Amino acid sequence: MLRVSIRIDMNSDLGEGFGAWSMGDDKGVLSSVSSANVACGYHAGDPSIMRETVKLCASKGVAVGVHVSYPDLMGFGRRNMTCSPQEVYDYCLYQIGALNAFCCTQGVELQHVKPHGALYNQAARDKKLADAIAAAARDSGDGLILLGLAGSEFEPAAKAAGVKFAAEAFADRAYLNDGSLMPRSREGAVIHDADLATRRVVQMVTKGTVTAEDGSQIQFRPDSICLHGDTKEAVDMAEAVRRALEEAGVEIRPLRETM
Amino acid sequence: MLRVSIRIDMNSDLGEGFGAWSMGDDKGVLSSVSSANVACGYHAGDPSIMRETVKLCASKGVAVGVHVSYPDLMGFGRRNMTCSPQEVYDYCLYQIGALNAFCCTQGVELQHVKPHGALYNQAARDKKLADAIAAAARDSGDGLILLGLAGSEFEPAAKAAGVKFAAEAFADRAYLNDGSLMPRSREGAVIHDADLATRRVVQMVTKGTVTAEDGSQIQFRPDSICLHGDTKEAVDMAEAVRRALEEAGVEIRPLRETM
Amino acid sequence: MLRVSIRIDMNSDLGEGFGAWSMGDDKGVLSSVSSANVACGYHAGDPSIMRETVKLCASKGVAVGVHVSYPDLMGFGRRNMTCSPQEVYDYCLYQIGALNAFCCTQGVELQHVKPHGALYNQAARDKKLADAIAAAARDSGDGLILLGLAGSEFEPAAKAAGVKFAAEAFADRAYLNDGSLMPRSREGAVIHDADLATRRVVQMVTKGTVTAEDGSQIQFRPDSICLHGDTKEAVDMAEAVRRALEEAGVEIRPLRETM
Amino acid sequence: MLRVSIRIDMNSDLGEGFGAWSMGDDKGVLSSVSSANVACGYHAGDPSIMRETVKLCASKGVAVGVHVSYPDLMGFGRRNMTCSPQEVYDYCLYQIGALNAFCCTQGVELQHVKPHGALYNQAARDKKLADAIAAAARDSGDGLILLGLAGSEFEPAAKAAGVKFAAEAFADRAYLNDGSLMPRSREGAVIHDADLATRRVVQMVTKGTVTAEDGSQIQFRPDSICLHGDTKEAVDMAEAVRRALEEAGVEIRPLRETM
């Protein structure tokens, strides 16, 4: 009897220190994920940290992506800015190129581009910004995958640019019955119970559904699950999710192998 | 009768604006030079300016190089810093990669790396820093030429790294009889007379000699002549030098065609 | 017969260079205005430029104000950012304090605070941001005047904070019949004719009215006229406006003497 | 019988986070010290962190000083830079003013200026830089004390400028028999044994001597003891030193009360 294995990617933000400052437990979360979103100097990540992070990813067999951001170190890239699509394109290309240099010297192939923070949130709703990011991914000429919010402007933008799109889901977030994220301002938007989060991810990946906040079961089949590494609890949740997926027979593999 | 044409490169710093600030007359000097050293965000040059500068160079057939710098926008990269060789390597790789992204999207091949300002001056005398820059040029994997001061630490560093070295001379500077630059602190170190500067360059390129400050004729055969574009006088001098060289039968061609 | 002289302030942005970059003709415009808005490092202006600008103002008898901005050197403070009111308060206090240090050492008393660029535009419409700026002006404890757009959120914010408010008008902008600025996106929003601009300013100051874009005469009595110094034309317009006002018997005096 | 109580200041670096990044255990070390050196945005410390740090100091009765630095966030101010004395003066004034604004709004009086990192090390040996820092302290006009290395250029610079000088000693460093610090490059330069460090501090404060690395007892009477808060061990050492001093009858008081 044929058994087709299910595969899924797990991604996390990495290399988010800067100079003398560190953030999160990169080594901890790297044991669980298959893809890393590496900061490139605009919200975090200086050149030395970028080199070390790429090296760390390579040593763990974790695929490397570019975590492109607005230029806002003081705000960690979390504040909306009214940059023009041209500026966003330019900033993306700059950051992609910079990280690519560290990848090339270490024999690592860049896998994806994922917008960070405010750029992620703004571009998910703004066609022009999403188009600018997709165009930067396309023009970098390395077959980069655009990783972004499921059901957002990223998907049509990637399609229009001829770039592969990977939809990500969040292990620790509640969803509305149209497949969109429940806003953080609402009670219950963030799931703190690791067991519940884990069960939800297993359901998404193995059944292709998620239980929306109104109790309905909706179709939902992400290409990647986003996890965090900034706290002990987050690293534990990432480990729990990976273990549960593997126990359910799911293989955790980077996007380039699953798409 | 066979006539072997002499060829020389002329280089200048470009794209040294930042955000709303501009500097120099890029279009003016681009008519005279064959290679451009493009700022990459560490002493000048934001991503949008980088894209536009590469485009401008491409439209004029001018070769593009990376003008790597210490991270010092406030000091325009002109202040010595005690960065470690590893940091210098990382900063170079970052800036090379960032500019390369803009070159790739425009079908331009990066030609060279030239250190800027204080990094140029420090590394010219410091083997470890010169080695770090040469290693970054080598590891970027694109056959980049290292462009730097004639007779400095750059030459052995490039040789050791297996990278081509291009020695540059300055049209407006006096030389000591060992081929080194007269320090700026000494009277007569900078030549303001455009006619004199022009005659000296023609002599360097066609005879392979320069008149040192003590009047002696020394062997001196640069691969590139450095010119400036930050003032009207500088742009005029660049034009005068180019015209005089062409009248002397010299072809102005980018480094990749002359080395 | 008693003749009561009319007085008005004229203000301009100054010290908007950064490091090796300069911007505008500070000396040129300083001959015309009575108050300067000095950049403090967040959109332009490094400490050395700040010291020199305060010195220049003192030598010309021009009053000094703080031109507070979002932290965005690359965008010259012209891009909207979603900073919290607390962040805006903190950024204002930081910039006020920094400039005040240069004023104190030169015996200059800080006169006013004026938001710059995107912060100006956003706070003019956002009560919370306007309140944050007014609170910073009040808490700095030096009787600072808040200078901002006439008819905006700045006025009630200043009143609530117990801070004096100075309403500014623009010599080169058209007004709607409710006293608000015609949006820049509309044809005719910017007045390029120096004669027309000059006549309009004289009318505002001597009659307390302005001709709105629909031809109606509306009440309009600004405390300060904003002029620019970034181009030759702007400096010429500033001179023309000053001359015309003086010929009409108006005295150009800094805000602290007129309010 | 009259008993004259001995008093000493203990100082530590504080507020060294930036944006989303934190560093050290500020609350932990604040329980032990009497003076804080607060970062002002050039090596660490953004305006919001500055406000919070001043508030925290005020709540604990700890005196506030300005930790002035070169502008080098990426290098945490630890890299030598060849800034001119004028630039150093300007950078100091800028940072002093910025922090002073937060102090004034909270009813806190600035107590001292202490150079940070590379600026500390360079100016301790360079009369012109030390003079520039002392001049900035003097010109700020608030009776600021200059806190720096015992036996360095800071002392004559402060004297020449008419500024009080406070000599600091390090609990965890070995001294040569001329009273200078043993260079970090030498074995034994840093003392990791908290008991030994504690005994040495008690000896310095109560006897006015220190045991140099050659075993000799030299005269050594610091005004302040520098402690660290960046690790658990450092915070523990600070507590141990304070306890031992108090048990020896020494009062821990800020500089302004002891000088």
Per-residue pLDDT of chain A (259 residues; tens, 9 = 90+): 455 689 999 999 999 999 999 999 999 999 999 999 999 999 999 999 999 999 999 999 999 999 999 999 999 999 999 999 999 999 999 999 999 999 999 999 999 999 999 999 999 999 999 999 999 999 998 799 999 999 999 999 999 999 999 999 999 999 999 988 998 889 999 999 999 999 999 999 999 999 999 999 999 999 999 999 888 999 999 999 999 999 999 999 999 999 9
DSSP for A18-41 reads BTTB--S-HHHHHTT-SEEEEE-S
Average pLDDT along chain B: 95
Tell me: the pLDDT tens digits for C209-233? 999 999 999 999 999 999 998 889 9
- Neighbour-count burial of B202, counting CB atoms closer than 10 A to its CB (0-12 exposed, 13-18 middle, 19+ buried): middle
In a domain, C214, yes or no: yes
In a domain, D109, yes or no: yes
In a 13 Å sphere around the CA of C156, the CA atoms on its Cβ side amount to: 10
Q: In which band, very low, low, confident or very high, does the pLDDT at D184 lie, cut at 50, 70 and 90?
A: confident
Q: In which band, very low, low, confident or very high, does the pLDDT at D5 lie, cut at 50, 70 and 90?
A: confident
**Residue B127 identity (one-letter amino acid):** K
In a domain, C1, yes or no: no
Q: Among residues of chain C, what percentage have pLDDT more than 90?
A: 92
3-state secondary structure (DSSP) of residue C224: strand
Which run of H or of E encompasses C123? Answer: helix C117-125
Least confident of B196-210, C108-122, C202-216, D175-189: D175-189
Backbone angles phi, psi at C56, to 5 degrees: -60, -45
Task: Return the DSSP state at A104.
Answer: H
The ipTM of this complex is 0.95
Window 83-112 of C: residues touching A by CB (8 A cutoff) are 83
Q: What angle do CA A199, A200, A205 make, to 5 degrees?
A: 100
DSSP for A107-149 reads T--EEEEEE-HHHHHHHHH-HHHHHHHHHHHHHTTS-PEEEEE
For the cut 70, the answer to whether the pLDDT of residue C113 exceeds it is: yes
3-state secondary structure (DSSP) of residue B203: helix
Q: Inter-chain contact B74–C46, Cβ cutoff 8 Å?
A: yes
**Residue A178 identity (one-letter amino acid):** D
- Neighbour-count burial of D37, counting CB atoms closer than 10 A to its CB (0-12 exposed, 13-18 middle, 19+ buried): buried
Give the CATH number for residue B30.
3.20.20.370
Full domain range(s) for residue D92: 6-257
3-state secondary structure (DSSP) of residue C113: strand
Q: Inter-chain contact C81–A80, Cβ cutoff 8 Å?
A: yes
pLDDT value at residue C4 = 62
Mean pLDDT over B212-217 rounds to: 94
Residue of D42, D43, D76, D83 to mutate, interface with B, max B Cβ within 10 Å? D83
- How far is C-alpha B3 from the geometric centre of its chain's CA atoms? 29
Q: How many domains does chain B have?
A: 1
Q: Give CA torsion, residues C146, C147, C153, C158, to 10 deg.
A: 20
pLDDT value at residue C230 = 87
Rounded to an integer, what distance in angstroms lies between the CA atom of residue A151 and that of residue A213? 17
Q: How far is C73 from chain D (nearest CA, A)?
A: 15
Q: How far is B34 from chain C (nearest CA, A)?
A: 26
Tell me: the pLDDT tens digits for A167-214? 999 999 999 999 889 988 899 999 999 999 999 999 999 999 999 999
| Residues of chain D contacting residue A18, judged by C-beta atoms under 8 Å apart | 18, 21, 73-74
Mean pLDDT over D142-150 rounds to: 94
Residue of A73, A78, A79, A231 to mutate, interface with D, max D Cβ within 10 Å? A73
Rounded to an integer, what distance in angstroms lies between the CA atom of residue D65 and that of residue D114? 7
Backbone angles phi, psi at B96, to 5 degrees: -60, -45
Average pLDDT along chain A: 95
Task: Return the DSSP state at C232.
Answer: H
Nearest chain A residue to D75 by CA distance is A19
Nearest chain C residue to D87 by CA distance is C48
The count of CB pairs under 8 A between chains B and D is 29
In a domain, C233, yes or no: yes
In a domain, D145, yes or no: yes
Please indicate if any CB of chain C lies within 8 Å of the CB of B18.
yes
Mean pLDDT over D66-73 rounds to: 98
Tell me: the pLDDT tens digits for B104-126? 999 999 999 999 999 999 999 99
In a domain, D227, yes or no: yes
- Neighbour-count burial of D209, counting CB atoms closer than 10 A to its CB (0-12 exposed, 13-18 middle, 19+ buried): middle
In a domain, A107, yes or no: yes
| Residues of chain C contacting residue A118, judged by C-beta atoms under 8 Å apart | 82
Q: Name the residue facing D76 among A19, A75, A76 (closest C-beta).
A: A19
Q: Inter-chain contact C141–D105, Cβ cutoff 8 Å?
A: yes
In a domain, A1, yes or no: no
DSSP for D98-166 reads HHHHHHHHTTPPEEEEEE-HHHHHHHHH-HHHHHHHHHHHHHTTS-PEEEEETTSTHHHHHHHHT--EE
The count of CB pairs under 8 A between chains A and C is 28
If one counts every other C-beta atom within 10 angstroms of the C-beta of residue A219, the result is 9
pTM of the model: 0.96
